[in-house]
Structure 1
Amino acid sequence: MEKILFIINPKSGVDRVKALKDLIDKQLDKNLFDPEIAYTEYAKHGTELARNAVANGYKTIVAVGGDGSVNDVITGIQGTDATLCIIPKGSGNGLARTLGIPLDQSRAIALINTGKRIHIDLGKVNDRIFVSNVGVGFDTLVAKKFAKSERRGMAIYSWIVTKHLWTYKEWEWEIEVDGKVLQEKAFILTVANAQQFGYNFKIAPTADLQDGLFDVVIIKKFPKILGSYIALRAFNGSLLKSKYVKHLRGKRVTIRHPKLTILQTDGDVHACGNELKVEMMPAALRVMIPA
């Protein structure tokens, strides 16, 4: 029987946590797994809990939450033989959608009994681990505003985008991809390991979590009246066909701007310096996906 740890952020409330515990008890096959539950108590506690669990012999770690919570657990288990499972509880759930994990919690738990384990790539920006994407530009502004909002969901996300689209000023970036240097004025500049930001907004529709390469997507300055057109292309998977988009691929990416102070990784905003060094970490994480 395999030891399995569920790492849960209890901020969603006592009733919801109890309902989740009941689902785990109902759906998880106790002939296969011996479950334990741990609760996060402060920022980045999920990383500590995951790291300690691996040290104590847990082979499967379940992140219960959104992309930020999942990223914390990944940081704690990357490079080990432990497997990440995801029970989506966030807003965008970008990684869960990319991996084909059900957004329904009951089905996501049941998947743990029957899923298959694969290795996927990770990325590192300076000293920070990410799985889906790292970005600077308009996406960082939106992520910052979204984090401050007490409400969640696609409607709030869309409202923030609409509010700030018309006044956003693009910066000219120095970008280096595997030694090739270019200057681009960018609305969004994303180094993607996975396809989407969340909500099925595919910023890098050709990205592959197992190919050992980043997809660098630059949405260049465009007439703001075309904002809906750009968004539609992202949702239907045709963004890279737009004349306002440049697409490169590589293993090492450097981004520079003298005024750079923040970036987003997997939707969470962090402080940074004026240079970002992004490196590929091939096959650095085991994950559970549908068989």
Structure 2
Amino acid sequence: MPKTCFILNPAAGPSRRLDLPGLIARHFGALEADYEIRLTQFAGHAVELARQAAADGFRVVVAVGGDGTVNEVGRGLLGTDAALGIVPQGSGNGLARHLHVPLALPAALRRLARPSFSRMDVGVLNGHPFFCTAGLGFDAHVSRHFAEAGSRGVSTYLRVTLREYRRYRPVAVRADLNGQVLETDCYVLAFANASQYGNNAYIAPRADLRDGLLDVCLIDALPLGRALRVSLGMALGNLPQTRAAEYFQVPRGSVVARAPLGFHVDGDYLGDATEFAVELLPLALAVAV
């Protein structure tokens, strides 16, 4: 069994209502495993804890939390020999779902006790690494307001999405996708390393974590009829077949927006900008799955 460090975000999802350290001790302690649990104390702390855990010789460093915690732990492990593990405890759990990590805590821990090791690609948008998805436009706008909503969960996300759908307007952009230049309006421009945002909302169902390419989803406008097709296509995992969105596969790209445009990585809103650069780092992160 690999030496394992659990980095736990006590504020993520159901974590606030569970004795996660006790449950981890019950499962890993019974196996006489070599493990530690380290708790995050502030935003960005998991990056530091993951980097230190790798330096301390842990073979597997486990993000116990949501997509934000996974992103921080993954960032801390870039350039190290340690592998990322996931115990999903967030609202969306996008990367965990793509990797088929069990959502039930006991099953996720059993899987980590005897993991298989692999490697995955890593995306970078304006210098910010992402492991699942990143994007410009409406999804970033929703991420911003979801973070300000005061509550988490699917119902809150849907409520925020419906409210902001009535308010949001697309922005004109010039996108260079590995040499293919597009002059278009941008309602959503999503860069997908994994197939979904989370909660089985598949923005790029053909995305592959190990193919060296980003799946780019462009939606230039979202009138009501198309919005219904997009929503249904994401839920059923067949959005490309609906022709409600345009897709590209590229290793890198750049975007210039006519007005400031919000962007996010792994669901965390990072601000507005008018110039964006995105690239993929092939097989840059080890994972324990």
| Equivalent residue runs for 1:41-60 within 5 Å | 41-60=41-60
Residue 129 of structure 1: CA displacement? 0.7
Q: Flag the 1:113–1:278 CA change in 2: closer, same or farther, 3 A.
A: same
Distance 1:74 1:241 in 2: 32
Match of 1:231, SS state, is helix
Q: Does 1:282 align with 2:287?
A: no
2:182 maps to 1:182: yes
Kindly provide the CA deviation profile for residues 33-88 of structure 1, in whole angstroms up to 9, marking residues without a partner as x.
Answer: 31111111111000001101111111110101000011000000023221111111
TM-superposed deviation, 1:236? 0.6
- Distance (Å, rounded) in 1 between the aligned partners of 2:159 and 2:219: 20
1:146 CA drift (Å)? 0.7
Mapped to 1, the partners of 2:37 and 2:16 lie a distance apart of: 14
More displaced stretch, 227-236 vs 197-206:
227-236
Matched-pair contact (CA < 8 Å) for 1:101–1:108: yes
Counterpart in the other structure of 2:22:
22
- Label 1:15 to 1:197 Cα distance change in 2 as closer, same or farther (>3 A): closer
Secondary structure in 2 matching 1:101:
coil
How far, CA to CA, are the matches of 2:103 and 2:228 in structure 1? Answer: 26
How far apart, CA to CA, are the structure 2 residues paired with 1:251 and 1:22? Answer: 43
Equivalent residue number for residue 194 of structure 2: 194
Provide the aligned length of Structure 1 versus Structure 2: 289
Check whether the contact 1:135–1:190 (CA below 8 A) recurs between aligned residues.
Answer: yes
TM-score by length of 1: 0.93
Question: Which runs of no fewer than 5 residues in structure 1 stay unpaired?
Answer: none
Offset at residue 139 of structure 1 (A): 0.3
Q: 1:250 — aligned with what? A: 250
Partner of 1:65: 65
CA apart distance, 1:30 = 5.8
Specify the alignment match of 1:167 in structure 2.
Answer: 167
Report the TM-score, using the length of structure 2 for normalisation: 0.94
Q: Which residue of 2 aligns with 1:91?
A: 91
2:15 and 2:65 in contact (8 A); partners too: no
Once the two structures are overlaid, the 10-residue window that deviates more, 83-92 or 26-35, is 26-35
In structure 2, C-alpha distance between the alignment counterparts of 1:18 and 1:203, rounded to whole Å: 31
Residue 38 to residue 255, structure 1, CA distance change in 2 (3 Å) = same
- Report the counterpart of residue 218 of structure 1 in structure 2: 218
Q: Is the 8 A contact 1:32 1:113 kept in 2?
A: no
**CA 1:53–1:156: 2 relative to 1, 3 Å:** same
Larger deviation, residues 241-250 vs 222-231: 222-231
Instruction: Give the alignment of 1:10-159 within 5 angstroms.
Output: 10-11=10-11, 16=16, 19-28=19-28, 33-159=33-159
Runs of at least 5 residues in structure 2 that lack an aligned partner in the other structure: none
Return the alpha-carbon distance in structure 2 between the equivalents of residues 68 and 242 of structure 1: 30
Query: CA RMSD for the aligned pairs?
Result: 2.0
Alpha-carbon contact 2:118-2:286 (below 8 Å) kept:
yes
| C-alpha distance in structure 2 between counterparts of 1:144 and 1:12, whole Å | 17
TM-superposed deviation, 1:11:
2.9
Residue type at the aligned position of 1:157: Y
